[in-house]
Amino acid sequence: MEGVDHEQWWKDILEVHYHPERKEVIKSKYKNRPAISTLRVSTFPIYERFSKLNKGKSYSDSIKPFNFFNIGTAILSDPQTGEPIIPMIPKVDSSKHSQVPYMEFLDHKTGKVYPHEGSLDSKEYWKMLDQVFEDYINHPEAKSDGDVGVLEHKHLTIDKDSIKYIGKEANNLEFSMVRGAFAEDSNEYVNEQKKLREIITSLTLEKALKIGIDRREFYRLKKKLESDRIIILRKKTLEQISTLL
């Protein structure tokens, strides 16, 4: 989490453990401070969701692949779907974090813009650090199979279209490290293999050279389509391909 001294955070948790009478005093240190983390625009769905905020902006002012963004922790759910509403915004300077809960944001899962007609004020959707602190105290680690115990591997299935990760995680593994995972979670992590294959299939040599992919790399990419194995690209190549979005 941004703006948090992690060493002090854990010391405060231990302080509450051994001196529960001090809990409210310690929690007050984190009151009215939004729980904010920073992630990278590393998947196609996240980039596509930002298209709503990019509309009308110049390229230089738009959110682009591999830019960073800020994300909050869900505290309310969508009344229609029951899914948690997870606010995310373009990255802001840490000095402006106090203003974040009052800004327009996107729901990480749906891309819906908040606030909107019928919604609450933006501030109501951001979880505060004192509430996160309370959760750390009250919830056991739930990334293992079961509420306590040794972390075990979750079920992983692979095919030529996708990777499906079945377990107590959120839709995105990197994202789940921020949100955390609880026992009630049982979602699939789906990699964008199908989309990646479509892009490589439609990629021409002329287009590849234009975005900086040389002939050797171009034919190497086409060769990957012949196999059912998962396509793994170097960061540079992935960044180049992302410009075609």
Q: Could you report the average pLDDT of every consecutive run of 10 residues in the chain (245 residues)?
A: 83 92 94 90 82 83 87 90 91 90 91 92 94 82 40 41 40 43 37 78 92 92 85 78 73
Please identify which residue in the block is written with the tokens 């002090």.
8
pLDDT on residue 158: 39
pLDDT on residue 42: 78
pLDDT on residue 160: 43
**Measured distance CA(86)–CA(77) in Å, rounded:** 9
3-state secondary structure at position 127: coil
Task: Indicate the pTM of the whole model.
Answer: 0.57
pLDDT on residue 192: 64
pLDDT on residue 186: 35
pLDDT on residue 48: 83
pLDDT on residue 171: 39
pLDDT on residue 162: 42
The residues that bridge with 165 in the sheet, in sequence order, are 156, 189
pLDDT on residue 245: 63
Residue extents of the structural domains in the chain: 6-133, 139-190, 193-242
